[in-house]
Structure 1
């Protein structure tokens, strides 16, 4: 059964209102850096910082391989009936065809999962966070950041729309169902365990349960192996105090991401202490000077477009002097990563962890 908790839908609505409505510029500055191959040097062979706290300067985490692979098309059994939970309550949906799929969420993880299952050629549109090379040429179905454009979706004549409630407005998404489109809401927990579970749910929705289970097992194994590899390079002593800061300077938005936001999972996997969660912050909270000073992070994670929107590190420290009072501000210790990658929690999660670990512990 595919269900979606009321609490997570409520959180998604808050995120959409507070964050996702902000325009993300489709400019060269927002483009994700591309590397051509997987990491050539294992983490253990890198020049690891003896004391990460003493390092001065910014660094960028870049996925070594941004592709989703070339999985063969799976065997499908259709029609399939699933149950999803949205703002209208529990709804039974029968999926008769998957020839034309739209998969969308705030992190781009659902479309990436569809592609990783071997059904990427059936995707006919993408959200702005879906940035994998294989899917980059698909037409956008979101506007003004993560706002759903119903007309753009209907123009693509989809058989099915798969989403999780993190982009909207939700009532617009539900209107697609009234227009005759099969709309399925899946659980998409921003966590490492959620990566495999999403693969299972998407596989079930598309009549490819066996492929979904196989993908989930593969991704779970890759993630656990990467966490083990990272743990072996984390220097001894007190863990780095880390913080995720969401920025949209053109809209005056500065948010701290705390527990249950996904940022906490990344930080823990990197051997750090999530200082926002330590302060008791859950989800997303507007940044205050008092909270920033109290957190006093050694290192701050930001999205690439976010730090660019405030004029880089110099602009951020000038506009928010309280950040300059922290250890991270004094050492200019900011790690940025492309918006469509850092919190995606999809098939490339192990690669995201690898890239972040390199930027934190072995910056070039």
Structure 2
């Protein structure tokens, strides 16, 4: 996906201690996983919940930065954030044919033809956006620099900021907020209902009555020397819970979304499964490279090579396809049911 997907979370790392001991490790009786695997969603494109919704405009909404913004035209939409979530929502609402600019993380097939307006990967390019003559810009503080977003407002373009936090529980509100800003609340309600059904069906894939697997998410970037273990609030904790697993970082008492990996802490946490981002796994030399990180090879997950990688654009964007990601994870863990 994108090397900076967890930028906001990584900023919390400064001063954090290593993982504490406390894992109990059990026999993950429900697991069908016996070695490395990739959790890949069956259909990674975006499909509109409605076709050609008719926006009810103008509409005035309160932007996340406290500014009341009036949107009177959604014929030329630029949707940009660090995760690609906003673009995914707009396309899912049925307004993808109106998107004229996107970020580099909006990478699904339906958006491939849309110009990218983030230079160097994740920095907004004011000139590129202005050249597209947008009628509205959807964004948040996960991307910047903020001077560019202010420059767009100064140029008279309605710029609507949304909540930059990405959580499983926040998916419905995020969808509805974007739908309101674009004048299509009914499409937003329909999309929320569709996503809720997919999430519920995905949760049902976790077996009842079996010992839940202990899963840890490790954020690794070999080129940058970043090796972190996730805890509560990382986003991965919600995805692990959704597939019936125990988030190891939360279970051992971490109080921050991410802390540096320590070999002792990781071994004592005793995860049955290690979850990583696909590009992160590649950056450390694949499964063999991950197992060379101190402590990883000594865990139950490392000894059995139960390493699950997930495409960077899927795991933590918490967009309309989140139910499909949960389904992919559950299928890898439990073999499908």
Report if TM-score (shorter chain) is over 0.5: yes
- Secondary structure of 2:94 counterpart: helix
The correspondence for 2:127, drawn from 138, 142, 151, is 151
| Cα pair 1:127 1:146 within 8 Å, conserved | yes
Indicate if the aligned counterparts of 2:277 and 2:309 stay in contact, CA closer than 8 A.
yes
Q: Is the 8 A contact 2:199 2:323 kept in 1?
A: yes
Q: Where does residue 52 of structure 2 map in the other structure?
A: 73
Residue 111 of structure 2 is aligned to residue 135 of structure 1:
yes
- C-alpha change, 1:230 and 1:207, in structure 2 (3 Å) is same
SS in 2 for 1:192: coil
Contact residue 13 and residue 165 of structure 1 kept, 8 A:
no
Question: Which residue of structure 2 lines up, in the alignment, with residue 60 of structure 1?
Answer: 38
Q: Which moved more, 1:286-295 or 1:346-355?
A: 286-295
Distance in structure 2 (CA, Å) of the matches to 1:128 and 1:79: 29
Q: Which SS does the other structure have where 2:205 is aligned?
A: helix
Q: CA deviation at 1:85?
A: 2.6
Aligned to 2:179: 203
What is aligned with 2:243?
Answer: 270
Query: Aligned pair 1:313/2:292, yes or no?
Result: no
Give the 3 Å change call, closer, same or farther, for CA 170–15 of structure 1 in structure 2: farther
In the other structure, the counterpart of 1:352 is 325
Aligned to 1:303: 277
Gaps of 5+ in 1: 1-11, 20-48
The whole-number CA distance in structure 2 between the counterparts of 1:99 and 1:333 is 47
Give the conservation status (yes or no) of the 8 Å contact 1:188–1:198. Answer: no
* Shift, 1:296, TM fit: 2.3
Counterpart Cα distance in 2 of 1:15 and 1:177:
28
- Superposition map of 1:335-346 within 5 A: 335-346=308-319
Return the alpha-carbon distance in structure 2 between the equivalents of residues 362 and 292 of structure 1: 26
* Structure 2 stretches lacking a partner, 5+ long: 1-5, 14-26
Q: Deviation of residue 331 (structure 1)?
A: 1.4
Instruction: Work out the CA distance in 2 between the residues paired with 1:354 and 1:101.
Output: 31
Q: Partners in 2 of 1:245 and 1:329 — Cα distance?
A: 12
Which among 193, 196, 202 is matched to residue 217 of structure 1? Answer: 193
Find the partner of 1:108 among 84, 87, 95. Answer: 84
Q: Which moved more, 1:281-290 or 1:122-131?
A: 281-290
| Paired residue secondary structure (1:339) | coil
RMSD, aligned CA: 2.6
The question of whether the paired residues in 2 share the 8 Å contact of 1:190 and 1:261 is answered with: no
Shift of 1:287: 3.0
Equivalent residues of 1:110, 1:163 under 8 A apart: yes
Between 187-196 and 212-221, the greater mean CA deviation after superposition: 187-196
Q: Which structure is higher in helix share?
A: 1
> How far off is 1:201 after superposition?
0.6
Higher RCO by CA contacts (8 Å cutoff, separation 6 or greater): 2
| TM, length-normalised to structure 2 | 0.85
Report the CA distance between 1:290 and its aligned residue. Answer: 4.0
CA pair 81-65 structure 1, distance change in 2 beyond 3 A: same
Give the drift of 1:179. 3.0
Distance 1:126 1:287, change over 3 A: farther
Question: How many residue pairs are counted as aligned between the two chains?
Answer: 317
- Matched-pair contact (CA < 8 Å) for 2:202–2:327: yes
Query: 1:36 maps to what in 2?
Result: none
2-structure distance, mates of 1:53, 1:230? 12
Question: Match of 1:44?
Answer: none
Deviates more, 1:150-159 or 1:192-201: 150-159
What SS does the aligned partner of 1:130 have?
A: coil
Following the alignment from structure 1 to structure 2, what is the Cα–Cα distance between the partners of residues 13 and 237?
36
Between the aligned partners of 1:59 and 1:79, the Cα distance in structure 2 is: 48
1:230 matched residue in structure 2: 205
Alpha-carbon separation, structure 1, partners of 2:28 and 2:211? 12
